[in-house]
């Protein structure tokens, strides 16, 4: 069964059809400890889930979005960043029974007869063994990040909706701090402003160097992703981004050089007046040139709610700021 999310209407229909097919084929009793097939996610979301889907709400805390009116969502330099879509959450027998009854009652409210009957049968079978109450092990429930329910390109790699496992055989796909670090990475908002030009953008001159200034103070950005499991365990990860290097581009071939890169190191600010590279325009603009400043950020993470720059490295982040510059010839003064 595919984990790809369906549209809102299609999901409800698919749940009913899947349950009907499953019941018709015959159900292996969960009392024996066998896996129970998954139901595709419903259109509902929210902590604890609605319909036939168990969802989780990941809380995000933001610090230091930096200067600029429109902070950018971080772009991964390696291009393969993928936030987690789903994972397995452990539940006690009582919590599992509550979840099955929640789905059963919700199906009744929705007049979804087939789904209603399915969960009624499931509860009756699982209740014969009291949902494994008093036995060593845990129930594991497929859990969706509620923010991914409307992401039609999101795919869950797991297709078992819930199952019982002994403690020595936990499933793959449990939520981990590393997974939350991926989620936090995707929520980073990087500053889009903070680069000043001298001369000013509207007053650039031919054959006059363009000095770049960047104030690093308060430029550190961090996001904490935090999730509380049904057993009360709090899992967290904090991702921190710090400016590392700046690349500026003149936006035209009529400049020498056309591009400069500046390493920021640990300096609190950058002033390229004393640098070995400064863009110098060689021709006036017939209008404006698109001057761009691309910032590369060092990104790290740690399994706590406290930001630090000494964590485990992640892929560097990228942000871009563009401004139009007007370049004019220097006017001679006649005396």
Phi, psi (deg, nearest 5) at residue 184: -65, -40
Question: Shortest CA distance to 82 belongs to which of 175, 183, 177, 6?
Answer: 183
Token digits of residue 334: 């006649």
Written as six digits, the tokens of 256 are 């020498």
* β-sheet bridge partners, residue 247: 261, 294
Identify whether the C-beta of residue 39 lies closer than 8 Å to the C-beta of residue 160. no
- Say what the pLDDT of residue 150 is: 81
Do residues 189 and 65 make contact, with C-beta atoms less than 8 angstroms apart? yes
DSSP 143-165: EEEGGGTT-TT---S--EEEEEE
Whole-model pTM?
0.73
Tokens 């079978």 belong to: 125
- Strands, DSSP E only, in the chain? 36-37, 54-56, 59-63, 72-73, 75-76, 86-91, 138-145, 160-165, 189-190, 195-198, 204-205, 211-215, 221-228, 234-249, 259-263, 269-271, 289-302, 312-313, 317-325, 327-328
Q: What is the pLDDT of residues 118-166, one digit of tens each?
A: 999 999 999 999 999 999 999 999 999 888 888 888 889 998 999 999 9
The pLDDT of 304-310, averaged and rounded, is 92
Please give the pLDDT value at position 226: 93
Per-residue pLDDT, 331: 75
Query: In angstroms, what CA-CA distances link 125 with 20, 31, 38, 258?
Result: 17, 7, 17, 72
Torsion of CA 279, 284, 286, 287, to 10 degrees: 50
pLDDT tens by residue, 71-85:
666 666 565 566 788
Q: Do 282 and 307 form a contact (C-beta atoms < 8 A)?
A: no
**Averaged pLDDT, 322-330:** 94
Q: Give me the torsion for CA of 15, 16, 18, 24, rounded to 10°.
A: 160
Q: By percentage, how much of the chain surpasses pLDDT 70?
A: 76
Q: Which tens digits make up the pLDDT trace of 105-114?
A: 888 888 778 8
Query: With the CA atoms of 246, 250, 251 and 254 taken in that order, what torsion angle do they form, in degrees rounded to the nearest 10?
Result: -160
């Amino acid at each position: 069964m595919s984990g790809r999310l369906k549209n809102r209407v299609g999901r409800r229909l698919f749940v009913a059809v899947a349950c009907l097919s499953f019941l018709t084929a015959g159900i292996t009793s969960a009392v024996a400890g066998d896996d129970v097939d998954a139901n595709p996610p419903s259109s509902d979301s929210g902590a604890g889930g609605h319909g036939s889907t168990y969802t989780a709400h990941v809380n995000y805390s933001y610090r230091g979005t930096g200067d600029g009116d429109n902070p950018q969502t971080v772009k991964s330099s390696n291009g393969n960043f993928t936030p987690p879509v789903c994972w397995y959450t452990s539940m006690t027998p009582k919590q599992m029974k509550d979840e099955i009854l929640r789905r059963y009652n919700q199906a009744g409210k929705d007049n979804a007869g087939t789904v209603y009957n399915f969960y009624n049968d499931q509860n009756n079978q699982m209740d014969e063994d009291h949902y494994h109450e008093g036995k060593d092990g845990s129930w594991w429930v497929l859990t969706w990040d509620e923010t991914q329910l409307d992401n039609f390109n999101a795919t869950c790699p797991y297709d078992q909706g819930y199952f019982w496992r002994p403690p020595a055989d936990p499933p793959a796909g449990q939520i981990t701090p590393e997974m939350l670090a991926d989620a936090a990475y995707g929520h980073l908002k990087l500053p889009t402003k903070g680069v000043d030009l001298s001369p000013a953008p509207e007053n650039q001159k031919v054959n006059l160097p363009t000095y770049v200034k960047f104030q690093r103070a308060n430029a550190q950005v961090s996001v904490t992703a935090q999730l509380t499991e049904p057993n009360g365990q709090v899992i967290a990860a904090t991702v921190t981004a710090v400016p590392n290097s700046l690349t500026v581009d003149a936006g035209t071939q009529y400049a020498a050089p056309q591009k400069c890169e500046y390493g920021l190191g640990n300096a609190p600010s950058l002033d390229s007046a004393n640098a070995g590279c400064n863009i110098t325009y060689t021709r006036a603009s017939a209008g404006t040139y698109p001057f761009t400043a691309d910032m590369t950020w060092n990104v790290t993470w740690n399994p706590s709610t406290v930001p630090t720059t000494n964590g485990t490295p992640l892929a560097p982040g990228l942000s871009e700021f563009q401004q139009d510059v007007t370049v004019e010839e220097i006017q001679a003064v006649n005396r």
